[in-house]
Structure 1
Amino acid sequence: METARPPFVDEHRIMVDAPTERVWPVLASEFGGSSGRLFEVYARFIGAKPLRSGGEPLAEGSTLPGFAVVEAVPGRSVRLVGRHLYSRYELTFDLTERPGGTLVRARTYASFPGPLGRVYRLLVIESGAHRALMVRRMAAVRKRAE
């Protein structure tokens, strides 16, 4: 049984001067590939579930530290969900073919229960750290796909 989607946090959009068939594999390597040793240590420290990477990047049923791919339509959309000690969250990506390229839209949803969850939200969301990370990674998708 699936739980309700957490509350909306933010949305990021970029226009990429490339067709979706070129953008999707870049998105998969940027957001669905190996996240690096430092992030794996961080994921373990905060009790992230799932903890390890497995499967084809952004393919339904695959995992990466802190996220499981629960829905995927290759070339069009993907839904990642996860949780840790301080939050339950979801990240979705939608690719839409537009004249001149592909619109990539990323939406974040998250809940932060309890006092420690509120502190974590302050540190990650309210500080601007999440936004800065998303802007940087979305820009990397654009640069690599173009």
Structure 2
Amino acid sequence: MDRPSPRDTSTGALSFVDEHRVLVHADADAVWQALGRSLPHGAIARTGARLLGAEPARAHGDPLVADSAVPGFGVHAALPGRELVLAGRHRFSVYRLTFSLEPRERDVVLVARTEARFPGLRGRGYRALVIGSGAHRRLTRRWLQGVRVDAQREGQRDGRREPA
């Protein structure tokens, strides 16, 4: 039996999937807040989580605070302005997504690192569909770009940054 047990919420040993970086012309606080706003929520996220049998399936708490959740991800660690670790599981995978903020002199590099395990035949099929097709890569890059645009806009609105 190599299917993840629904009772086991630990992520255990996971394999590296990919890592993406984006330079954000904003301070770490603006990036952190934009990251929080970008996390999955609402009816579409709940429906997707339910269809995949994801745990956790529903949101609770503040998504930028440890022990909270958004559909499909539990917040395992949250170090404001530095690191956000999300983890979850569903019928085909056990996964962890780590966002790290690397402050520079006037900017922040936002890094998204994905690790996962895809047990069994159905897990391998899911990996081919999502990872092998490039869909995960495209969605992660789009997610990071959205955070960048939001953080830069917010930083300009607050007068913290000059327009890029």
- Compute the TM-score of the two structures, normalised by the length of structure 1: 0.93
Question: Identity of aligned pairs, percent?
Answer: 46
Give the aligned residue type for 1:70: H
> Residue 105 of structure 1 aligns with which residue?
111
1:131 counterpart SS class: helix
Q: Residues 5 and 90 of structure 1 are in contact (CA less than 8 Å); yes or no, is this contact kept in structure 2?
A: no
> Residue 23 of structure 2 aligns with which residue?
15
Q: How far has the Cα of 1:37 moved from its partner?
A: 1.6
Larger Rg belongs to: 2
Q: Residues 83 and 101 of structure 2 are in contact (CA less than 8 Å); yes or no, is this contact kept in structure 1?
A: yes
Q: Structure 2 stretches of 5 or more lacking a match? A: 1-8, 153-164
- Compute the TM-score of the two structures, normalised by the length of structure 2: 0.83
2:21 counterpart SS class: strand
> Residue 24 of structure 1 aligns with which residue?
32
| Distance in 2 of aligned mates of 1:44 and 1:3 | 19
1:140 counterpart SS class: helix
1:117 matches 2:140: no
* Larger relative strand fraction: 1
1:56 counterpart SS class: coil
Q: Structure 1 stretches of 5 or more lacking a match? A: none
Q: Give CA-to-partner distance per residue, 1:25-68, whole Å, 9 cap, x none.
A: 0011102xx52322211211111001100101221011011110
Give the aligned residue type for 2:52: I
Aligned pairs, how many? 144
Q: State the superposition RMSD in angstroms.
A: 1.4
